[in-house]
Amino acid sequence: MAHSLTGGASPFRCYPHPPCCAAGRATPTAPPSTRRRVAASASPPSPPPAIEGRGVGFSVTTRRGVVLPVLKDCSLCVPPGQLWMLLGPNGCGKSTLLKVLAGFQNPSAGTVHINRPFSYVFQNPDHQVVMPTVESDVAFGLGKLNLSLDEVRSRVSQSLDAVGMLSYSQRPIQTLSGGQKQRVAIAGALAEASKVLLLDELTTFLDEYDQMGVVKAVRNSVTASGEVAALWVTHRLEELRYADGAIYMEDGRTIIQGDVSSISRFIKRKQARYFGHFEL
């Protein structure tokens, strides 16, 4: 498929009961005497994560044979049916971590797991869409699935509807804005029944209007599906409010992961300290 990359059967290890999904949540730890009572009345166990990395390392070797660690002991966990954001300064390793999760790069340490099929959508909207019209582009990736024409039509219209592009189905691709192209690429991934969306800085080249259109399209698709998990790499703090959780990276490491307000406060405190250095 050309508008996003997809993956099939997982070659990776899957953990049935990963501990990290709850680890970043801002939940107080109950004292030992009350733990048993809480456990007895607790709701059913949470589902296995859709995306998980444990102790992931990744290194590159320079032409002079020097090994440079890019990712160091990264761990993260995204439950199904949720949109999580991956943030951090330039060069901290966000895109590399996404590629390792997708299996495009092999980790040098640790383990990764993502539910299949998954799709990886890239930053540049012009690299995402390949067919002449919106409808044909979304249908493009379905060719390999041996579906009836009715099923193809139904999947295409449902996924275009999910990203708010149904009324554009006959539009020539070259007439779309960057954000609309991104939404068509996401519709293509949804049409293929992707269980995981790995989204690499989709809004970098977009104006504010298109940016919000794409964020909301992903938010709505994840909510409507109830099982699709999305991991969204971004620099834009204002996008956090559409997420269920976030992970913050620094210098190749995942520093903290948890609910949006905790991570947002954490980042703002860091920014305040950083800008404090420059105050006269």
Q: How far is the CB of 204 from ligand ATP (least distance, A)?
A: 8
Asked if residue 94 binds ligand ATP (CB under 6 A), the reply is: yes
Q: How far is the CB of 148 from ligand ATP (least distance, A)?
A: 41
The residue (of 19 and 91) whose beta carbon lies closer to ligand ATP is 91
Rule CB under 6 A: choose which of 22, 23, 30, 60 binds ligand ATP: 60
Asked if residue 41 binds ligand ATP (CB under 6 A), the reply is: no
Q: How far is the CB of 179 from ligand ATP (least distance, A)?
A: 19
Asked if residue 93 binds ligand ATP (CB under 6 A), the reply is: yes
Asked if residue 92 binds ligand ATP (CB under 6 A), the reply is: yes
Q: 272 burial class (0-12, 13-18, 19+ CB within 10 angstroms)?
A: exposed
Q: How far is the CB of 68 from ligand ATP (least distance, A)?
A: 6
Stretch that binds ligand ATP, among 34-42, 86-94, 150-158, 213-221 (CB under 6 A): 86-94
Q: How far is the CB of 15 from ligand ATP (least distance, A)?
A: 25
Strand order in the sheet with 83-87: 5-7, 118-121, 196-200, 229-233, 83-87, 245-250, 253-258
Backbone angles phi, psi at 226, to 5 degrees: 75, -10
Stretch that binds ligand ATP, among 46-54, 94-102, 108-116, 262-270 (CB under 6 A): 94-102
Asked if residue 184 binds ligand ATP (CB under 6 A), the reply is: no
Asked if residue 91 binds ligand ATP (CB under 6 A), the reply is: yes
Q: Which helix (H) or strand (E) holds 132?
A: none
Give the HSE-up count for residue 99: Cα atoms under 13 Å, Cβ half-sphere. 14
Which residues is 30 bridged to in the sheet? none
Contact 105, 99 (CB under 8 A): yes
Asked if residue 70 binds ligand ATP (CB under 6 A), the reply is: yes
Tokens read off for 197: 């969306």
Segments of the chain assigned E as strands? 5-7, 51-61, 67-78, 83-87, 109-114, 118-121, 196-200, 229-233, 245-250, 253-258
Contact 88, 249 (CB under 8 A): yes
The residue (of 70 and 206) whose beta carbon lies closer to ligand ATP is 70
CA–CA gap between residue 241 and residue 220 (Å, rounded): 13
Rule CB under 6 A: choose which of 34, 41, 43, 90 binds ligand ATP: 90
Give me the residues that bind ligand ATP (CB under 6 A), please: 60, 70, 88, 90-96
